[in-house]
Structure 1
């Protein structure tokens, strides 16, 4: 009996030690995402690809830009997709750089002190834009931001602008547009709301102009027009991976794992993915998996 108990005790000890060892050896990582559709999709695709390569992935989604950046700096998030323009202008208080590779180089130089590295830059440029309903823009003769500024100066307070709080206060948001194009929104003419509500507000004629992301499928679906940024104010916002240096050192294979996805992402492909979620009401997880399977990045 004693011999049997000894054997059982030894078996349990070996099992516990093995379990602890497996837990210690598990490739754990937290993937972050901001609070809009494109970010949810990018996070889902990243999670799926990392899980396919043996990672234990936790998602931390629905964060505002600055909250996500803080989480990355404080290592509450290990990896996220972010945008070159946001990194330079908003986080690092630098002037924008239109060339993607140059922007990536500058980001890595400046973010080294913050323990953050940038990689896997894509051709997807999710820059900001101001949009109007096509019929109203045509009626008012507005096709460019210069036209818009002239109209605002001639008709102060007439047009209402939908914006999320972040864009309303960013250097590369409303304050910068006003300064670059020489106009000023009248008091109470900026209606702040959640970023997901601005398109509906414009569609339903609650406002006359809205901030938009250039890759958003609702621009076409709702018959909006992008007002041409004829002074090229808005910086490039190419999607790229931002991760902690600690994560890169621990898992150098991540860049290679995500490289095939990087090659497939451009403004058109992201616009289509956004369309499937926002217009066709598919789940982010479903369309992420479909996309990866369709392009041979994962198996069914």
Structure 2
């Protein structure tokens, strides 16, 4: 039985509502935090505040989206799906390792090329990355625990739900599955510092969702990817925030060749994965296939 796209409830959803709601939540929680800080006269740790705001904004954004599901008759169990019997997890581990290699290579190469044209901009971006919330050996245990919870649990669940569970399926209904994959991947990349690396990451997570018809697989891969990132952060010396902008830029320019090597290793294999698993133009979103099987 082939699912009928005319009954696709994602035709009623609007991605722009997610952006508006995200902006409203950011402003609301930001103002509330500012008022609380003014009343208590307590200066909160900026990085801990960033992590807490992430949990609040993305958590409430997901809950708000679930209200839409009730309104439009979208069954969450068909969005989540079920892991296929005897799913091969070991290749997923290799896939994530390749993604990390490409992520590092894209960071080194893209920022090196950008540094040649706009060194001041690259210095500012690298400073932001260096001071962004992440687990480090020199950080307090509570902070590292909170960062690990955000990156390993909260981020994979909320981001996969929003980007693959909602945005991808909505845009498939609007533009077709191949265009939606690329567009949702680009959006995912734009919202992160490493645009090239995270764009490919978003596309691959979308392909995994379409192929397996369950969000559990991309959530698990996303969590494993972030676990490795947190682990590398804990193994680092934690001294990068004290390095001058000039030294950071010099380190980047001296490491560009490593990025080329890593890209030559990872990119062909990732392209091969996408080529072998790229969906056909007439493929349907996981929700429609899952719901049709549920009615049979």
Band of TM-score, shorter chain? under 0.3
What TM-score, normalized by structure 2, do the two folds share? Answer: 0.23
The alignment's TM-score, normalised by the length of structure 1, stands at: 0.22
Q: Which has the higher helix share?
A: 2
Structure with bigger strand share is: 1
Q: Relative contact order (alpha carbons < 8 A, sep ≥ 6): 1 or 2 greater?
A: 2
